[in-house]
A and B are shown apart, each in its own frame.
Chain A
Amino acid sequence: MNPLNAVFRLSLAVLVKSRRTLMIGILCFMPVLGSIFGTAFMMSGVAQQELTGFSLTSFIIVNGYVHVLLLVVTLFYGTALVSDELEDKTITYLLVRPVSKSTIYLGKYLAYLVAASLLLLPSAALCFLISMAADPPGESSRHVPILLQDLGVLGIGIVAYGALYAVIGAVAKRPVFVGLAFTFIWETVVTFIPGYLSKLTIKHYLSALLPHAVSQRGIIGFFESATSPVTAVVVLVLATAGLLALGAWVFTNREYVLEQ
């Protein structure tokens, strides 16, 4: 078996059975519950007429998924790629096999991509399907391209944030805390600062790819400066490649000492 494939399969098997996945799975179910309550509220006739299934979906995808859940899921999965193996002292078993450390790193990253995608994307699609039940028939099929675009943005977010948090996991001793600090100080606060500083965040480029109108993006939408979708994709692809290369290099050259 190809070593990358072998690391990927082993890591995916470990991820699927981890408690972390169970917790993240429960977390990903929360917006679905929100959609159910929101849709029931709209269908009850109590809601104002401007509130539609599509506007509810837009709100949940942008504010629930892109601004919160995507960060939380990628943070907890990404930082754990290396640090969990170190904490659990299982990394030894991987490092004494005839597989290069960069292959181990990439194999684990690929496993993370699959696990995070399987938890986030179906849950987002489910929110869309539930919320659109409140709109007149035919509306949901009209908005399917937007759903696909949303899922694409989430997918790119999983790729980019995963690469970033994996580097933090390979470098930092307490990567979750470092990742949390980074997420809430840099990725969140900087977004509110007008000017070019926000262009140094991943969230800026993800927002540039969102198909929803600024009014549907919540308060953050008003602080965003314009970047074309093509530029956003190019920057995110380059950033991901750079971060993966950096993470693989760190993992290859750092001597990890297990705590006794």
Chain B
Amino acid sequence: MTVLGEPIWNNPELNRRVGFCPEQDAFYSGMTGLRWVTGLLSLNGYPPEETRRRALKALEEMDLLDAKDKKIGAYSKGMRQRVKLAQAIAHDPQILFLDEPLSGMDPMGRRHTIRLIKTWAAAGRSIIVSSHILHEIESMTSSILLVNHGRIVAEGNVHEIRELIEDHPHRIFIQCEDPRQLASRLVGWPMVAGMRLDEDGVEVQTRKPDLFFNDLPDVILADKVKVTRLLSPDDNLQAVFDYLVK
């Protein structure tokens, strides 16, 4: 196995270009956030002043500057997660491996961290995020690698992968005022493979979603159907994963 073209086993020099935030909630006891990040960063060989400067910058980036002198044991779960991220980015790595990076964070913390991850990616860093919470992954990227029991089951853009799953027609839910009227118009369409009528809308199953979405506005306009919502319940990572592994 190689990372950045180099073997990973017993190749410590590679770690200058790699940052890693592990999943486990593990720390050296009794240390403050600053002492912990500084201690780990000192292993990269920076002079003490440079180590401290980088540690402070990383803590600031993770919004932990005010809590830098507090013991990690007194941090909330979200703060502990962020201090782990701080040690991962403090040496400005080229590639970041983040294992469940949003675990334990509150909604604000999640939003902040997702924004940061996107910023790091935009700045040219490669970021590999491992997560079981698939909608979180979707909020960061559309480029995914789905792994089930150690085997890769899909790779690429989530929407493209969804297109390729032919066994499961796409589900499209149209919320409208008169579902029966709309259903009666759609039932004869060749691209419609199935249909389910609800009180507040119609769920259509189609194997040609692009064609369906192309023709749908004409019917809506012609019949003056008042559509309030249009959803694709299975055009997401979780649904793709479920289809692929079940």
Contacts and interface: CB of A to CB of B under 8 A. Distances in A.
Interface of A: 1-3, 6-7, 9-10, 13-14, 17-19, 88-90, 92-94, 96-101, 252-253, 258
Given A1-B45, A96-B20, A10 B40 contact: yes
B225 interface: no
Contacts of B113: none
Interface string B123-153: 0000000000000000000000000000000
A1 B48 contact: yes
| Interface-central residue, B14, B19, B40, B87, by most chain A CB under 10 Å | B40
Given A17-B30, A96-B20, A258-B24, 12 more contacts: A2-B45, A9-B42, A10-B42, A13-B28, A13-B31, A17-B28, A92-B24, A93-B87, A96-B19, A97-B43, A99-B12, A100-B10
A92 B46 contact: no
A248 to B, nearest CB: 12
A98 B42 contact: no
Contact of B39 (A13, A88, A252, A258): A13
A17 B29 contact: yes
A97 B40 contact: yes
A97 B15 contact: yes
A88 B30 CA distance: 14
Interface string B1-40: 0000000001011111011101010111111000100011
A98 B10 contact: no
A98 B28 contact: no
Contacts of B12: 97-101
Contact of B43 (A13, A18, A98, A253): A98
B45 A98 contact: yes
B43 A7 contact: yes
5 contacts: A9-B39, A10-B40, A89-B26, A94-B40, A99-B12
Contacts of B19: 96
Contacts of B43: 3, 6-7, 10, 94, 97-99
Q: Among B13, B19, B43, B47, find the residue whose CB has the most chain A CB atoms closer than 10 A.
A: B43
Given A18-B29, A98-B44, A99-B12, A13 B35 contact: yes
A230 B48 CA distance: 43
A184 B155 CA distance: 57
A252 B35 CA distance: 27
Most A CB within 10 A of own CB, among B16, B22, B47: B22
B205 interface: no
Interface in B109-129: none
Nearest to B99: A92
A90 B42 contact: no
Contacts of B22: 89, 92-93
Contact of A96 (B15, B31, B46, B51): B15
Contacts of A253: 10
Interface of B: 10, 12-16, 18-20, 22, 24, 26-31, 35, 39-40, 42-48, 51, 87
B107 to A, nearest CB: 27
B10 A252 contact: yes
Nearest to A100: B12
Contacts of A100: 10, 12
Contact of B45 (A6, A17, A90, A94): A6
Contact of A1 (B27, B29, B46, B87): B46
Contacts of A101: 10, 12
**Most chain A Cβ neighbours within 10 Å, of B24, B28, B35:** B28
A93 B40 contact: yes
Given A1-B42, A96-B20, A14 B47 contact: no
B137 to A, nearest CB: 21
A98 B39 contact: no
A101 B13 CA distance: 12
Contacts of A10: 28, 39-40, 42-43
Contacts of A96: 15, 18-20
Contact of B13 (A7, A98, A252): A98
Contacts of A258: 24
Contact of A90 (B16, B20, B27, B46): B27
Nearest to B19: A96
Q: Which of A2, A19, A88, A96 has the most CB of B within 10 A?
A: A96
A91 to B, nearest CB: 9
Interface centre among B19, B20, B26, B47 (most CB of A within 10 A): B26
A253 to B, nearest CB: 8
